[in-house]
Amino acid sequence: MAQTWQPGAPGVLSLPSGRLIRGRGLLAPFPVGPKPDFGLYLLGSPPRKTEWESRWVHWRDLHLPADDADALDAFREAWRRAENERVEVACWAGRGRTGTALACIAVLDGVPPAGAVAFVRRNYRRSAVETPWQRRYVTRFRGPES
């Protein structure tokens, strides 16, 4: 039986496939409820150790990922694992980098790149994907065919 997030829980984005991924800001208190099985952390320096499995993508605040291939691989891993696991994606505030990653993961799930930012803003957080270059990154994002 899959152990995923509750639909509609704070920060939980429901993808068209039914996969659920939680976005959050690391500056906020840890959410009440179950812990993630896997965390994808988008930060300028390595995150603190967690009790759960995690992956770090080098990504400075208000910028784009330092390594596009690593980011793509991490987005694909988060998307795959969200089918049966509680996956969270987080940066410091949970807006720019987290929103950008969630939008790219939505593209992997079948949302057209041109509509992925709007999808995440509508279903996760209105202020997601903060900068013009983050929005452009999403609209140009193309995950390799599965």
**What's the pLDDT tens digit per position in 110-131?**
999 999 999 999 999 999 999 9
Give whole-number Cα distances, 66 to 41, 45, 93, 107, 131, in Å.
13, 11, 19, 20, 16
pLDDT at 92: 97
What is the rounded CA–CA span in Å between residue 4 and residue 85?
Answer: 5
Phi, psi of 123 (to 5 degrees): -110, -10
- Quick check: helix, strand or coil at residue 105? helix
Specify the length of the chain in residues.
Answer: 146
Give whole-number Cα distances, 95 to 42, 51, 60, 65, in Å.
11, 24, 13, 15
Q: 117 burial class (0-12, 13-18, 19+ CB within 10 angstroms)?
A: buried
Sign of CA pseudo-dihedral 72, 73, 78, 80: positive
What is the rounded CA–CA span in Å between residue 19 and residue 5?
Answer: 9
- Quick check: helix, strand or coil at residue 52? coil
Between 6-10, 38-42, 70-74, 121-125, the lowest mean confidence (pLDDT) is in 6-10
**What's the pLDDT tens digit per position in 22-53?**
999 999 999 999 999 999 999 999 999 999 99
Task: Give the CATH number of domain 13-139.
Answer: 3.90.190.10
